[in-house]
Amino acid sequence: MTFARINGTTLHYRDRPVSGRPTIIFVNSLGTDLRIWSAVEQLLAEDYGIVLYDQRGHGLSELGDAPHAIETHAADLAGLLDHLRIESIIVCGLSIGGVIAQCLYGTRPELIDGLILCDTAAKIGTSDIWNGRITAASSKGIESFADGVMEKWFTPDFHKNRSEELAGYRTMLVRQSSAGYAAACAAIRDADFRADTASIDVPTLCIVGDQDGSTPPEFVEAFARSIPGARFEVIAEAGHIPCVEQPEKLADLIRQFIGEDMRRRTR
């Protein structure tokens, strides 16, 4: 395990560089940690540099001062890249991770060669939804709504046929810090990058699971249309966490994007 002090907060990360190859940093979703990317990491690690980390308040990373904003998370990500002396990166963000990626592009665009935005948008949810989730996490704990989250994260087929994994990912969720979860909900609630999507000028791939209950396909497709030249892909038989449910399909899309879309843009 590796840790770094970034912006006054200790972040847990893993860095697997590959000389002469593009580097991808994966940014986890709300209520998870870097382990959700394990299968995708294994599929891509021989061909790309890989950086994984737990965003503040999640996994083994400290929460630091709260409340905080998406801009705080983006500054953490930029600080980690500076710490690792990485000057160019492809950012793959899931859900809140995709919002963080958009914010990083707005503040440090020189770092980003490409964006892979999974199951996310420029604005997610309403204040009422997030305030309700904050209240529940703070007063009753994450356990009180964990089953409902699992229904959005994973398809009925996953629930039926992969019950051991389902139990494991539910445990991952409920063992997250309630304070960290609530702080991240507040950051999502207050983030709105809808005015900025038209100015994104790097190759961008938007991906969604066909059964995503949090950011449905039509929602993500509308988001993709707001980004000039963005590619939109739907992963079949996946919910909100396709890196767990369909890692091979996600890894294939990432390979295609880097090998085709990004190469075409640089010609």
Question: What's the average model confidence in pLDDT over 185-189?
Answer: 98
CA dist 81 to 21, 75, 118, Å? Answer: 16, 10, 21
260 pLDDT tier (thresholds 50, 70, 90)? confident
Q: What is the largest CA-CA distance in the chain?
A: 54
- How confident is the prediction for the chain on average, in pLDDT? 96
Q: Classify residue 104 by burial, with Cβ atoms within 10 Å: 0-12, 13-18, 19+.
A: buried
Domain spans of the chain?
Answer: 2-266
Query: What are the pLDDT digits (tens) for 8-66?
Result: 999 999 999 998 999 999 999 999 999 999 999 999 999 999 999 999 999 999 999 88
DSSP output for 101-159: HHHHHHH-GGGEEEEEEES--SS-S-HHHHHHHHHHHHHT-GGGGHHHHHHHHS-HHHH
Question: What's the average model confidence in pLDDT over 109-122?
Answer: 98
In the structure encoding, which two tokens stand for residue 129, read together? 């939804």
Query: What CATH number matches the domain at 2-266, 3.40.50.2300, 3.90.800.10, 3.40.50.1820, 3.40.50.2000?
Result: 3.40.50.1820
Query: What are the pLDDT digits (tens) for 206-242?
Result: 999 999 999 999 999 999 999 999 999 999 999 999 9
Question: What's the average model confidence in pLDDT over 57-85?
Answer: 96
267 pLDDT tier (thresholds 50, 70, 90)? very low
Instruction: Evaluate if pTM is beyond 0.85.
Output: yes
